[in-house]
Amino acid sequence: MRLLTKYKNQISTLAGKYLLPMLLCYSVMKIIIGTYFVFYSGIFTAVSVVYMGALIFLFEKIKPRKILRGIVYLLVGAAVILVCRWLLSAGWNSSGVWFMNWFYVTNQEAGQVPEYSATILIFFSFFLASIVYYFSIIRFRASGLMLAVLLPFIIYGKKALIINDFDMVVMVTVYLALVIHGKLSADDMKHDTLFNYSYIIAGLVFVTFVGMVTMFIPKPEIKSYLENNRNFFDFRVNSELSAFSNLNSESSPRFGANATGELLFKVRDTNNSDVLYLRRQAFDDFINDRWINNENINRSMESFGQYNTTPIGSNKNYYSFMRDGIAKTVLEDSNITRSFDYFRTENPFDTDNLKLITLSYEDSFAPSYICAELNVDTTVRTSSQRIYRTTHSETYPYTYTDTAAKSAQYYYYPYDTNRQNYAKSLSYDTAAFGDILDKAFEQNNITSKQYDAVRSVIKDYTDPDHYSISDRLAQLAKQITANCKNDYEKAEAFVKYFEQNGFKYDLDYEPPDESIDYFVFTSKTGSCTSYATAMALMARSVGLPTRYVEGFAAYERDENDHDLFVVRDLNAHAFVECFIAGAGWMTFDPTVPGYMTISANNNNSNVIGNIASYLGRAALFLAAGFVLIFIVFLDRIDETIFRLRLRRKPMSVKPIMLYQRIIKLLNRQHANRKFDGYTPLHLKDHCMNKLGADISQTVEMFQRCCFGGIEPSREEFAAAFSQYKQNWKLIAKGKKPEKVPKVPKVAEKQA
């Protein structure tokens, strides 16, 4: 029974001292881990709690030895830094993502980097355990504990995410409970509190009440804005560049984008294009109002080769396929046969038609982009001018690779007038081209690989299993294309429909109904993502293979160099690629033309906001540093302010202020005792006997000044103030340092 009571008392003591600090560590790390760990976040949170518990146990064991605890803490901190540095290096080598870029964006944007996630767990657990232990157990400071609570808000604010209400309420409630409990249980507080069931019940009632009030009081809805337009298009690049890595499995959100006008990169195009569409990524399936990648779709049509060896050059390869295969096919319809003369007499991919494009990236942005037409030359052999598909797996569907870190250049074949006229003049559509394809295969003019590749494109990008569309939207698509004789005319008809039927471009518009039907039939207002989605769905419904594409539309010219395009975050754009039977993949932009003017105006209006954004970042770090310094040196700052005030006072007031200062310091360190009622002699004896602090000169000077009206001389006050400064640390800490008696050497030998 005594043994049970002993363990019960020990558990009660440990819980009273460490339960709330550990709960605060848990609630903070749960929120942080929840945003950096997609899978098994609960398990990793448990690992973090065990890790923090072990650290606090170690800190508590070495606490009595002042010098040793400092050395051990520095060694543990150094080990943590070394491990984290190794993980950061490993993460960069495996993903090519700078840690700070990964740290500030969502998992969907930057992908999973296990080494960086481990860094978050190890470093922040160590940081939290340190500050929570010090400011709740060693020296209680509510402002110090606030650092732990602010950490999730800073992270989520930078990521433009919203903390789960329940997790936030738990964290704030535990913090408030710890603030009250810490004043009664911290080592630097003299407490006579009885930790029993009544205390626990009272604490639970308080926590429950605060939690309920916080949960049910209506809170204002405040929308956060990103410093960069990171959530518009989920930028990712390859492992050899310094921005985000890998492409995405899902398209970007259709609503809620915010651009600042920040310069991302510049493009020099020798084709003198009015608008240059830069392709980042195409998506396959439209499921639950979101475009996603389908790993089962055969993309060999883009290269007719292996993903890891053949540069992107789909239309150039398609030209060879048409010239060497389809054009040789004997057909009964002479009109169709004559249309293939284009490939017999014209070569849009002749070397003379090559155009050079050069991309120069800013320090904060370095992805790789290619022209939307995909007409990249396969004959260029300079490594810095070739772009490959290097990866094709379930985790990382595709990765563009460019060996140049801050610039990229490659040759491409732009659309020319002859090719566009050829596409307009075709006398067949996709369905009829399928019959031609069958005939060419029967006559052995094309290989089975080529046949399967083109058939896959037609099937995958028109099959209803890969998208969903309402009956009335499909009926509208039929009406729009009723008089079109080929696929090019169908695509142009969709583009003209949006231009001629009162549609408006509004990047900030968020409709009450996010469906495409509401956009097309009701609001007729939206951003490029809505226009591109609507056209892609309607085109597929009439048998035109189409895919949704994200990238950039470059149209702003550099003021000092008219041949140079300036690309900003507000130039992020969505458009479509249609597979025109007999011509290959071609780019179409269904967004109403006014978006270019609106974006330019937004750029001018966002200049001040962009400057304020950078100033805000600097202010954030300066403020965090100031808060940290202020908390660490709070006592010294307060004492310095007092001494400056004391210097300006007349000599008749200084002794009283100095005496009152001593009482204030003692009251601050002993929350349950008030020294205001102590007599001067009693106060002097307490400081000497309990703290080892001699304040005799201050007390004597105070008595003569306060009770005798005798103003001290400058020399007398200087002597008393010097004595106060020598004993200030003992008074401020509130306890007498323990002296361990030394064992005589003789006694040591005898022992």
Average pLDDT over residues 730-737: 68
Give yes or no for residue 358 having a pLDDT over 80. Answer: no
pLDDT confidence of residue 377: 55
pLDDT confidence of residue 41: 80
Beta strands 407-412; 370-371: pairing state = unpaired
Domain chopping of the chain, boundaries: 9-216, 263-468+547-593, 595-623, 633-733
Residue 573 contacts residue 529 (beta carbons within 8 Å) = no
Give yes or no for residue 552 having a pLDDT over 80. Answer: yes
Residue whose C-alpha is closest to residue 293's, from 232, 252, 251:
251
Indicate the pLDDT class of residue 352, thresholds 50, 70 and 90: confident
Q: Which amino acid is at 358?
A: T
Q: pLDDT tens digits for 719-733?
A: 999 999 888 888 887
pLDDT confidence of residue 639: 85
Q: pLDDT tens digits for 384-426?
A: 334 443 333 333 333 444 434 466 677 777 777 888 888 888 8
Give yes or no for residue 246 having a pLDDT over 60. Answer: no
Identify the burial level of 373 via C-beta atoms within 10 angstroms of its C-beta, where 0-12 means exposed, 13-18 middle and 19 or more buried: buried
Helix axes 2-36, 142-159, angle to 10 degrees: 30
pLDDT confidence of residue 486: 92
Indicate the pLDDT class of residue 558, thresholds 50, 70 and 90: confident
Indicate the pLDDT class of residue 343, thresholds 50, 70 and 90: confident
Give yes or no for residue 751 having a pLDDT over 70. Answer: no
pLDDT confidence of residue 627: 52
- Sign for the CA dihedral angle at 486, 492, 495, 499 comes to negative
Q: How far is Cα 522 from Cα 283, in angstroms, rounded to an integer?
A: 26
**pTM to 2 decimals?**
0.54
Q: Which residue has the higher pLDDT, 378 or 65?
A: 65
Q: Which residue has the higher pLDDT, 139 or 739?
A: 139
Indicate the pLDDT class of residue 608, thresholds 50, 70 and 90: very low
Q: pLDDT tens digits for 626-649?
A: 555 655 566 788 888 888 888 888
Helix intervals (H) in 547-653: 595-605, 607-632, 634-648
Starting at the earlier edge strand, list the strands of the sheet with 546-554. 370-371, 276-283, 546-554, 572-580, 584-588
- Write down the mean pLDDT value for the chain: 74
- Range in 356-370, 489-503, 579-593 with the lowest mean pLDDT: 356-370
Average pLDDT over residues 117-144: 83
Looking at the chain, the whole-number percentage of residues with pLDDT higher than 90 is 15
Give yes or no for residue 173 having a pLDDT over 70. Answer: yes
Give yes or no for residue 433 having a pLDDT over 80. Answer: yes
pLDDT confidence of residue 618: 54
Q: How far is Cα 28 from Cα 168, in angstroms, rounded to an integer?
A: 9
Helix axes 2-36, 114-133, angle to 10 degrees: 130
Q: Which amino acid is at 287?
A: I
Average pLDDT over residues 555-571: 85
Question: Which residues does 521 contact at the CB level (< 8 Å), separation at least 6?
Answer: 472, 473
Average pLDDT over residues 114-142: 84
Indicate the pLDDT class of residue 472, thresholds 50, 70 and 90: very high
Q: Which residue has the higher pLDDT, 26 or 307?
A: 26
pLDDT confidence of residue 602: 52
Indicate the pLDDT class of residue 364, thresholds 50, 70 and 90: low
Other Cβ atoms less than 10 A from the Cβ of 615: the count is 10
Other Cβ atoms less than 10 A from the Cβ of 643: the count is 15
Q: pLDDT tens digits for 481-506?
A: 999 999 999 999 999 999 999 999 98
Give yes or no for residue 235 having a pLDDT over 60. Answer: no
Residue 324 contacts residue 316 (beta carbons within 8 Å) = no
Element (H, E) at 588: strand 584-588
Q: Collapsing DSSP states into helix, strand and coil, what is residue 720? A: helix
Give yes or no for residue 44 having a pLDDT over 70. Answer: yes
pLDDT confidence of residue 204: 52
Q: Which residue has the higher pLDDT, 623 or 684?
A: 684
Other Cβ atoms less than 10 A from the Cβ of 177: the count is 20
